[in-house]
Each structure stands twice: as structure tokens, then as C-alpha cells.
Chains A and B, each alone.
Chain A
Amino acid sequence: MRYGMIIDLARCIGCNACTVACKSHNGTPKDIFWSQVLVEEKGEYPNARVVPTPILCMHCEDAPCVKACPTGASYKDENGIVHVNQDKCIGCKSCMVACAYDARKFMGGEPKSYFPGKEVTELEEVQHTEFSRGVVSKCDFCADRLKEDLLPACVGTCPAQARIFGDLDDPGSEVSKILVKKSGRTLLSHKGTKPSVYYLAR
């Protein structure tokens, strides 16, 4: 079993629902984004447009972050998902430097509220207990939701259905069938990390 994702760039409308769903479900503190949408401006007025590219942890098969972690805090589970054990992380950030996708975020202080000058809300307070200070965190394909047979939050929420999630090892899965039919590509494939997140061209 190797979980993977396809992001269809032709369908993506750059609405950032995935970003919000990720933050909402995982309760990541202020300034910590596990899922985000990069936006590039193209052309000039009046023929200008924005081109969105959603990114997240690529859960690479040959993950350089796992190799670079000195304590084994970054590890890969049997489903191909790369995790960070927050209790083992020493905050050396070598995994961040090893990651070509900027998918890992370091939390250097106490979690901040999204409401400047205000205390954290009750919900934030509860969600922030999941996050230690001085460690690195990242997307884990919403492993807690997968256990309940739910899709990752970003996949489930996408209004354009631009994200397809499934088992890359199963030839019968939707992701495998789509990848056979359409040539999906991975970002920075020349880095040789074999990402589990594929992109379909616009």
C-alpha cells in the first residue's frame, strides 16, 4: 500500500479551500501551512491572469527528510506516509533544508492566535495542544481521517474535485487508473525523491 495524490491543475481554481480545510482540520497554528497554493502572475493587463499551484508534502518514496533526521523523528509508515514524531524531534531543521518542496514548518515559539491582540480562542486552545514548541511539523495526509476511512481534508473539500487520493500500489484504484490514462508528472522529478503526489497538466 502506498498512498498518493493526483492534483489536476486544469481543474484547480486557486480558491485555497484546501489550505483552509487543512488548517481547520489539523488546527495548525498561525503561520504554519502544511497545504498551500502558490500563485504566479502571468501576462500584463488587460491580459493578466494568475496561475495557482497547490503544494503539500510529497510523501516521497525516497524521502531525503527521513534520511536527514538524526533521531528517527521523521519516519515513513507502512502506507508510504512520512510522519514527524514530535516527541523525538530535536528541532535541528536538517529535514527542512533537505526538503526541496518547503513542505516542513518549524514552530519556534508558542502557538499564536489568528486574532491579533486577543487570546487564543477555545477551539485554538484545544487544537494547539497537539503542537509542541521547537519542533518541525508537516502534512501527514490526514492519517487520523484515513483511519476512519475518510479522505484527507484538502481532498474532501476541493470544490473543483481537483484532488484525487488513493493507493498507488493498487492497479484498480482511481489514482492508478488516471495515471495510466493521463501522464501525471511530479514536481522537481530530477531530484530523484519519487514523490507520491502527481500533477496533471493544465
Chain B
Amino acid sequence: MSNDSSDRSLSSVITWNKDVKVMPYALFGVVALIVGAVAAIMTLINGHDTMFNLSPEVPWGLLIASYAFFVLTASGLAFIGGIGHAFGNSAYLKINRRIVVMAFAVLLAGFTQIGMELGHPLRLAWYMLVSPNFSAPITWMGVLYSIELLILAFELYLVLKPNPTEKDHRNSAVVGFCAMIFGVLAAATLGFVFGSNTARPFFHGSYFSTFFVVSGITAGAAMLLFVHNLVYWGRVPSSLSKTMSSLGKLMATGIGVMIFLYLWKILATVYTPAADGGYAAIRELLSGSLSTNFWGGEILLAIVLPLFLVLITKAQSMKMLGLAGFIYIVGFFFTKYDFIIAGQVPVGGDDFIGSGINRMADFQAYVPASGEWLIMLLGCGVFFTFYFFAEKILVLEKES
């Protein structure tokens, strides 16, 4: 008898959704995971030199960009989930199981990227416990994102609990709020990992902490729009129309704030090029080696097209919202890649005689190696596998 009831209660969470046709995505995830894992093993055996195209001029490359891409999206998702959980926003509460599963999967994907980018990933855990340097922003970033992962894991347990009690609902709200706070804090701290650098004037300051949080929340909304369209093959049920529309407006608002951030960062730097404010990096973005990425990848894909699609359809067309979400996600990746590479433009100026010649050429020679792309594919594989199998075997449609 008790077994029956527990089975019934468990089946409210674990099932096999015949109607949810996500196996192609899940299988793509498995393939990507296998290919990426092979690249990861080869990197561990052969070292970075043979697999990555990094240099003294560009020590941080594609994998730092993909790490930021994944973890900031996770922060954004946690933020949106927090709005639903902590403030009772019914539009987001409807999809809160999806949000939590997605945030957890994306954050896991991000951890694979930073793990493979490190020269000694296994030493990290040990020495962060034995001799952490609390004056290093990267320490706090690691701590906060680790806490965020634990919070999301706990939240996952709470939202998927069969027959939740009133107390569970209250706990979910508290944990969801914590996930939101720690997600934002972690994203802002990741910004400070760059912002604390006096050596790289383009990175320095509070700009990227702000930009990371805003663009991450926007990416979270975009991800939800895109994935819902994937799950329903472009036919999102009308019961979720309000939710999708709300996410579309959130994404458009985020893009609007990003426009302001871009505009004033660029203007302030270009207006006073001598102020050591990263003029060389901005020049690289606007008219140098990264200009195609910037105008095509960032301005067109992260701003103009998604904003246009949301505005022209008044955030009512599900398909268009899904397309806008997908385009923004691609553009969002460019925003991370471009900023990381541009920020490492060699420090120049009269004070550093002879520094602006060969090092600039070496800087411009950075193109991610196939090994780096394959590690990024590993991250995508982790997300697709984890999320879409969860979509297949868990009941994610139900409001918890």
C-alpha cells in the first residue's frame, strides 16, 4: 500500500514522456559529449600546447569565453527562477522546474570549460581548501559559483520532490531567492576577475560586472525562449504564451540596457583615448582584427536582430521569440569572446618602448584551435545530454 502510494508520488516526477520529442537533441548531446570528452582526454595527455592556440600575448582564449558564456547564462536563469520563486511571479513559476534543471545543466557545462582551461584542474580543489588566497577575485568567483551549484542542486531536489508540502514550497522560495542572489553575485564577481586588472585598461573597473549580470539575465531569458521552441518543435502551447511573452520582454529590456552600456563604454574610451581606458582594445573591436566579430556578432546578433524580432512581433509570436532567443545566444557568445580577446591587447604606450610591434602581430594571430572548439562542444554536450534527458524522463511541465 505504502509502496503504491510512493510509486504514484514518484511517477508525478519521474516518467517517460512519450509526447515530448526531444531525443534528437539528447542524442546530439551524447555525440557532442563523446567527441568533446575525447578532446578533453587528449588535452590532459598531451597538454595545452598541442590542443590550444594560446600564447603569452593571449593566455586566455576561447575556453574562458565559453566558461563565461555558460556560467553567466546559468546566473541569468537562476535570476529568472528567483523572480518566480521568491516573488511569486506566476508567469515564471509555471516553468520553474525547467528553469532550475536548465540552470544546473548550464552551470555544469561551464565547469567543464574552466576545468579544461586550467593547467592543473585536479590541484584546484586541494589548494583552494589548503591555501586559498582571499585577495584573488578568481578565488571568490570559484567559491560563489560552487555555492551556486550546490544551491541549484538543492533547489532541484525541492522542485522535483513528489507531493511537496507547504513547508517545501516555503523552502523552495527561500532557496530560489538564494540562487538568485548568489547567481548575481557570482556573475558580478566574474566581472571583477577582469575588472580588478590594472594591467588591462579595457577590463578595469565596474563595467564588466554590470555588463555580465545584465547580459546574463538576457541570455537566461533567451535560452528559455529557444529551448521551449526546441521542446515543442516551434509549437509552444498557448498556456505558456504569457510566460514566453514575458520572457521576450525581459530579453528586449536586457538588450536595451546593454545598448546603453555599450554606448557609454565605447564613447568614454574613444572620447579620451589618452586616458589609458582601453582605447587599443576598442579600436580592435571597432575597426581592427575583431571588427567583424563586433559588428556582425555582437551588434547585429546580440542587439539589432533579436530586438527587432521581439519589437516587430510585440513579443507575441512564439516562433519569432524562439528565433530571437537563438540569435541572441549566438550574439551573447560573441560578446564574451570579443571582450576577452580584445582586453588582452598588448599594453602599449610610450612608457613601454618597443612593445607595440611584434606583440601586436602575435595578439592578432590568435584564432581558437580545433581542440578549443571541441572542448566547447563538450560543454554543449553536457548541457544537451543532461537537460534533454531530464526533459524526457522528468515531469518538467508541472508548476512545483
Contact = CB atoms under 8 A, between A and B. Distances in A.
Interface of A: 38-41, 51-53, 64, 67-73, 88-94, 96-100, 102, 104-110, 133-136, 187-193
A41 to B, nearest CB: 8
Contact of A187 (B120, B138, B196, B351): B351
Given A88-B123, A102-B347, 4 more contacts: A71-B133, A108-B50, A108-B52, A187-B352
Given A53-B353, A92-B138, A108 B119 contact: yes
Interface string B56-98: 1101100000000000000000000000000000000000000
Given A67-B136, A102-B359, A106-B119, A72 B127 contact: yes
Given A97-B60, A100-B198, A102-B56, A109 B118 contact: no
Given A71-B123, A108-B49, A64 B199 contact: yes
A102 B197 CA distance: 13
Contact of B138 (A52, A64, A94, A99): A94
Contacts of B52: 108
Contacts of A90: 118-121, 123-124, 127
Contacts of B49: 107-110
Residue among B54, B120, B133 with max Cβ neighbours from chain A (10 Å):
B120
B7 to A, nearest CB: 47
A40 B142 contact: no
B198 A191 contact: yes
B56 A134 contact: no
B265 interface: no
Contact of A88 (B54, B127, B357): B127
B50 A109 contact: yes
B346 interface: yes
B127 A97 contact: no
24 contacts: A40-B353, A41-B357, A51-B354, A53-B353, A53-B354, A64-B197, A64-B199, A67-B133, A71-B128, A71-B133, A93-B60, A96-B59, A97-B194, A97-B203, A102-B56, A105-B56, A106-B54, A108-B49, A108-B54, A108-B119, A109-B47, A110-B47, A134-B118, A188-B347
A54 B55 CA distance: 20
